[in-house]
Amino acid sequence: MTNDPAGDPSSLFEALYDGENAVVRALRAGVSAESSDEDGTTALYLASVQDLPGAVRLLLAVGADPNRASGPEAGDLPLCGAACGGHAEVVEALLAAGAWPDLREQFGFTALRWAAGLGHARIAELLLGHGADPGLPGPQGEPPLVVAARRGSARTVRTLLGHGARDLDRALEEARRVLALDVEQELRDALSARYGNDPRHGSTVRRTAVDGGMTISVELLRDGEPFAGQDQQTGHGAIATLLEHALGLRASFEELAARALRYGDPELDNWHESVRALRLRGDEETFQAAAAWTASDDPLRQAFGAQVLARLGFRTGAKPFAARAVPLLRELVRGASDPVLIASAERALGHHEDPAALPEEPHGLSDGPGD
C-alpha cells in the first residue's frame, strides 16, 4: 500500500469488504479517501467496480475525486468501471458528485461507450441525462448508436435516439447485418475461435429476458464448470424497425412479421415495434396484410395480425377499419384455443369497442399523440 501519514491505507481497502461501518471507522482513523494500493488502484475505483454504492458515497463525501484515474498506468476511471459492470446506483452517485460523463480512460473508452456496447440501458439513460455526448465516438471511431445497434439493446437505442444520436444509417446497417445472423451459432463460433474445439469442453445456453428483449448467453464448461462465455442481446428486429421509422423507411409486411415472430414471444420489443410500425401506416394495404395473418394456421401469426388490427389507423378518435376488423376479431375469439391468440383478439376487440376498460399498452406500442 502507498504510505499515508494520517493512517494505514490497507485498513480502508480491507474495510471495503467489511461493510460501510468499517469504511467509516477507517476514514475516522485518518485514512485518506484518496488512498491507493501498490498498483495505483484507488479505493474509489475499487468500490465502484465492486458495486459498493454505500462505500462510494462515503468516499465521495469526504473528498475522493470522482474523476481521478486509477491503476498502474492511471488508465481506469471509476465512472467507466461502474458503467462497464452495469452498476447503476454507483454511476448515479459518481455523476451526482461531479464525474465528467465524457471523460475517456485508457484506450479511448467513455462510460457511454461501455454502456452502449454492453447493453446497460439504465446506465446510458443516466449518462445522457447528465450531459454525455450521444455522438462521441469510441476507440474504433464508432458512435454509441452503432455500437448499441450491434449489441441489440432496443432500450439503449431508444434512449440514444431520444437524445439526438446521429449516424442512423450506419446503425440501421449494423442492426440489419446482425439480424440476419444465427446469434447462438455466432457466439459458439467466437468461443471456438478463442478456445479451440476441445471435445472435453461442454457448453450451456441460457436465454434471459432483459429490458423488453432477450439475451442469449453461451458458456463453455470444463469439468462441468463454466470457464468462458459470451452473450448477445437480440433486439435487432426492434432496432431496425425503430431506425427505419426515424429515417422514413418502410420495411415490407413480411419482413416486419418475420422480426416479430422470430423468437415466438409477443412480450419482446421485436414484436411490439413491428406491431407499432404497421399500426401507424393505417392504410388499406396494411389492413389486408393483417387480415391475411388472422387467417393463418399459425396461432402466433394470427395473434400478430390481431394486434395490428387493434388500433390500425386510429387517429383523433377515428377507427377507419372497425367495420371490417371487428367481425374478424370476433371470429378469432370464437374459434381460438391458444391463450395468446385469445388474449390478443379480445384486447383488439376492446380497443374497437371499449378502450376505457383496457389496461395501459405495453412499452413500445403507443402510437403517438392523438390516436
Q: How many CB atoms lie within 10 A of CB 4?
A: 17
pLDDT score at 273: 98
pLDDT in tens, 123-156: 999 999 999 999 999 999 999 999 999 999 999 9
Residue 123 lies in a domain: no
- Out of 47, 68, 100, a domain closes at 100
Q: Into how many domains does the chain fold? A: 2
Residue 347 lies in a domain: yes
Q: At what angle do helices 154-162 and 121-129 cross, to 10 degrees?
A: 10
Grid cell for residue 229: 462465455
Reply yes or no on whether the pLDDT at 353 is more than 50.
yes
CB 243 within 8 A of CB 172: yes
Segments forming the whole domain that contains residue 25: 9-100
pLDDT score at 216: 98
Residue 324 lies in a domain: yes
Residue 91 lies in a domain: yes
Residue 321 lies in a domain: yes
Residue 86 lies in a domain: yes
Residue 38 lies in a domain: yes
Residue 221 lies in a domain: no
pLDDT in tens, 27-71: 999 999 999 999 999 999 999 999 999 999 999 999 999 999 999
Catalogue the E-assigned strands of 194-300. Answer: 202-210, 213-222, 225-233
pLDDT in tens, 104-113: 999 999 999 9
Q: What CATH number should be reported for the domain holding residue 28?
A: 1.25.40.20
